[in-house]
Amino acid sequence: MSMAENFSRRSRMVLLSFGLSRSLLIGTIITGFLIGLAVLSLVWTPYSPTGMNILRKLQGPSMQHWLGTDALGRDVLSMVMVGARNSLSVALIAVAVGMGLGVPLGAYAAARGGMIDGFVMRMTDLAFAFPALLTAVIITAVFGPGAVNAMIAIGIFNIPVFARITRGASMGLWKRDYVLAARCAGRGDVAITLDHILPNIGHVLIVQATIQFALAIVAEAGLSYVGLGTQPPMPSWGKMLNDAQTYIYDAPHLAIFPGLAITFAVLGLNMLGDGLRDILDPRVRRER
């Protein structure tokens, strides 16, 4: 089956099953809402996210400032909206880096096998020996804080994740009859991977991407929390939580709203991944 035919079949399956998966529906709504906030922040926010007004500092939610103001008089809603844009941008690039390098690496290891496969797997084992957030902290500490370095740091950890997932999902497919037939017909490893292997493991990669996306948001928030992620004056959910520590009793809304934003982002992406797995994974469909 060609890649185009396989994609078309899976697309029809998604459309037919969309309304049957509660996780997919709720996850799509939450994720779509956050993406909508991030896109809207490109053209409009209630106030300037960096505009300060000391006379209005530490105000609670009101009709003028729906989520209140911070210690510098900045509008919290505007900061949460721009923070969504920054967090989602960092996570998107980080996952793209991980998939762009990890998937070809894992596919190559599965196709070649032998010493190459063993070498790639040992390198991924070495990468997994270090906690993800610690690795990101080390990289950003060496190369300097900032959103770009945070993207690179989180993306580097995603590479072995996607390499192992791709390799594990591909290994069994190389022994299938249709792959052996393609070899007999003179097709090379690259052509077989593009036409037969990747289309049949696409559902695994999509679900894993949603999981890594959620983890990347948490990692970005963690880096910003310790001052190694998005730098001031641009707002970040993690930096907002760090700033809220001093005023946790006097102005708890400063911690509640960015905390809820991170929680809902991770919850929505995890539910979206579960829903996509239920629809795209043939083993789950058979069990149903």
- Residue 10: the pLDDT is 59
Torsion of CA 91, 96, 98, 99, to 10 degrees: 140
| pLDDT above 70: residue 16 | no
Q: Are 253 and 67 in contact (CB under 8 A)?
A: yes
- Residue 278: the pLDDT is 78
CATH code for the domain of 253: 1.10.3720.10
Residue 5 lies in a domain: no
Question: Average pLDDT in the 102-109 region?
Answer: 95
Alpha helices of 144-231 — where are they, by DSSP H? 147-171, 177-184, 189-192, 198-225
Binning pLDDT at 50, 70 and 90, where does residue 159 land? very high
| pLDDT above 80: residue 82 | yes
- Residue 201: the pLDDT is 92
- Residue 142: the pLDDT is 84
| pLDDT above 80: residue 23 | yes
Residue 114 lies in a domain: yes
Which residues span the domain enclosing 252? 22-38+76-287
Best-predicted range by mean pLDDT (154-158, 180-184, 232-236, 237-241): 237-241
Q: Nearest Cα to 222, choosing from 94, 96, 122, 113?
A: 94
Indicate if the alpha-carbon torsion angle 62, 63, 66, 69 is positive or negative: negative
Residue 51 lies in a domain: no
Q: What letter does residue 69 receive in the DSSP assignment?
A: B
Question: Average pLDDT in the 32-53 region?
Answer: 94
pLDDT tens for 216-267 read 999 999 999 988 888 888 999 999 999 999 999 989 999 999 999 999 999 9
Residue 46 lies in a domain: no
- Domain total in the chain: 1
